[in-house]
Amino acid sequence: MILFPKFIVVTLVLASLGLTVAGAVTLLVMLLRDRKSKSIW
């Protein structure tokens, strides 16, 4: 069987955690921006 090479697996794991962190930060930044422009809802 063909296996995913190690660097792919490592990249996927690190990328997933990194993206999750980036996502959380993005949400907070967006919230602050919305708050500044008084357009939260």
DSSP state of 16: H
36: contact with another protein by CB under 8 A: no
1: contact with another protein by CB under 8 A: yes
Give min distance, CB of 5 to another protein, in A. 8
Which residues 2-31 are close enough to bind another protein by CB under 8 A? 2-4, 6, 9-10, 12-21, 23-24, 26-28, 30-31
Distance linking the first and last C-alpha atoms of the chain: 52
The residue behind tokens 């190690």 is: 6
Give min distance, CB of 41 to another protein, in A. 5
Dist. CA 41–CA 34, nearest whole Å:
8
